[in-house]
């Protein structure tokens, strides 16, 4: 078995011979396919694929990319390659409630998230004692209405200094600017404590309790300029009933948030998510 497979993700208009073109290219360069997932959206006539292959025995990856480009261009493909030998670097942004942050750090320490976490950033000092237990540097950058722009600039500086590729908002209850979001398209992940698109905005459990819902949920999604409207990666739900108090909903929802966020982050790190407009194709 290879020590580090390479992932190829493809999205393009559907046409005959796409799978043959991809696998034939890999075979012609003596590259062994380890895993292949594909999906065709029949309504939009759009094709999606994820291929994991073994790079050993082939030339350098940059050379392979140059050989691949003509095939991709001939099929009008959007594509990306990721050599899993290069571990992604992930920053966590957290507010006062640090349960999701701790869950991510615990899973990471346990080897369940294939990435490096060079820092955690917060606008409150509350999470320091939990983060520092994992030997991860903790940066406190307080924010107010008057300092919002400067605080975000400091966050972006830290992200750049640490070569961060993925930012995870683990109940970081601040809205990022459009410029920040645009600088990292589909590389900022948020957990929303509601089953979106229902009950967007603040206090969703209060809204759900007032409406007498029978199911509550949590939604892991990419961040876009439109609040709580980014492409959805993962969702989790649990049934509730009239006996559940507001505290019950908050407690059950907290479990869902941690589960959905970890799952969504893992799917991203494993290159299993393709974004298409406001939707995603997720190869579980």
For residues 128 and 138, the answer to whether their CB atoms sit within 8 Å is yes
Helix (H, G, I), strand (E, B) or coil at 165: coil
CATH 1.10.10.410 fits 88-282, yes or no: no
CB 86 within 8 A of CB 58: no
Give the pLDDT score at 191: 96
CB 4 within 8 A of CB 83: yes
Q: Token digits for 10? A: 């493809």
Which of 223, 226, 283, 232 shows the shortest CA–CA distance to 260? 232
The whole-angstrom separation of Cα 253 and Cα 275 is: 26
Q: What pLDDT, on a 0 to 100 scale, did the predictor assign at position 57?
A: 65
DSSP codes of every residue in 79-146: EEEEETTS-EEEEEEE-S--HHHHHHHHHHHTT-S-EEEEEEEESSSTTHHHHGGGT--EEE----TT
Catalytic residue from among 14, 126, 228, 255: 228
Q: What is the pLDDT along the chain (284 residues), one digit of tens a residue?
A: 446 799 999 999 999 999 999 999 999 998 999 999 999 999 999 999 999 999 876 678 889 899 999 999 999 999 999 999 999 999 999 998 899 999 999 999 999 999 999 999 999 999 999 999 999 999 999 999 899 999 999 999 999 999 999 999 999 989 999 999 999 999 999 999 888 777 777 888 888 888 888 988 999 999 999 888 899 999 999 999 999 999 999 999 999 999 999 999 999 999 999 999 999 999 99
Q: How far is CA 114 from CA 4, 36, 117, 256, 262, in A?
A: 12, 20, 10, 22, 12
The pTM assigned to this predicted structure is 0.93
Write out the E strands in the chain: 6-13, 32-41, 46-54, 78-83, 88-94, 115-122, 138-140, 166-170, 188-192, 215-222, 232-239, 273-276, 279-282
Give the pLDDT score at 1. 44
The CATH class given to the 6-83 domain equals alpha beta
- As a whole number of angstroms, the distance between CA 47 and CA 274 comes to 11
Angle value at C-alpha 264, between 263 and 269, nearest 5 degrees: 100
For the chain, what are the domain ranges?
Answer: 6-83, 88-282
Is 228 designated active site? yes
The three-class DSSP label of residue 185 is coil
223 to 114, 178, 191, 230: CA distances (angstroms) = 21, 10, 9, 5
Tell whether omega for the bond before 126 is within 30 degrees of 0, i.e. cis: no
Q: Which helix (H) or strand (E) holds 21?
A: helix 18-28
């Amino acid at each position: 078995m290879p020590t580090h497979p390479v992932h190829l993700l493809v999205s393009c208009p559907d046409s005959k011979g796409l799978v043959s073109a991809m696998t034939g290219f890999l075979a012609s360069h003596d590259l062994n396919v380890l895993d292949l997932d594909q999906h065709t959206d029949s309504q939009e006539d759009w094709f999606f694929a994820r291929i994991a292959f073994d790079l050993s025995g082939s030339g350098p990856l940059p050379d392979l990319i140059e050989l691949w480009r003509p095939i991709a261009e001939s099929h009008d493909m959007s594509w990306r390659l990721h050599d899993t030998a290069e571990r992604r670097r992930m920053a966590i942004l957290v507010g006062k409630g640090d349960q999701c942050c701790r869950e991510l750090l615990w899973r990471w320490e346990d080897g369940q998230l294939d990435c490096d976490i060079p820092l955690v950033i917060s606008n409150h000092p509350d999470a320091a004692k939990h983060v520092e237990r994992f030997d991860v540097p903790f940066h406190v950058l307080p924010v107010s209405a008057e300092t919002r722009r400067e605080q975000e600039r400091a966050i972006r500086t830290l992200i750049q200094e640490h070569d961060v590729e993925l930012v995870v908002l683990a109940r970081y209850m601040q809205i990022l600017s459009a410029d920040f979001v645009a600088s990292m398209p589909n590389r900022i992940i948020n957990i929303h404590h509601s089953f979106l698109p229902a009950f967007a905005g603040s206090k969703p459990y209060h809204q759900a309790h007032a409406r007498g819902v029978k199911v509550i949920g949590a939604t892991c999604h990419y961040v876009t300029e439109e609040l709580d409207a980014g492409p959805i990666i993962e969702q989790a739900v649990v049934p509730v009933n009239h006996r559940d108090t507001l505290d019950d909903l908050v407690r059950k929802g907290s479990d869902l948030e941690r589960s959905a966020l970890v799952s969504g982050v893992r799917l991203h790190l494993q290159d299993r998510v393709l974004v298409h407009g406001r939707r995603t194709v997720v190869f579980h």
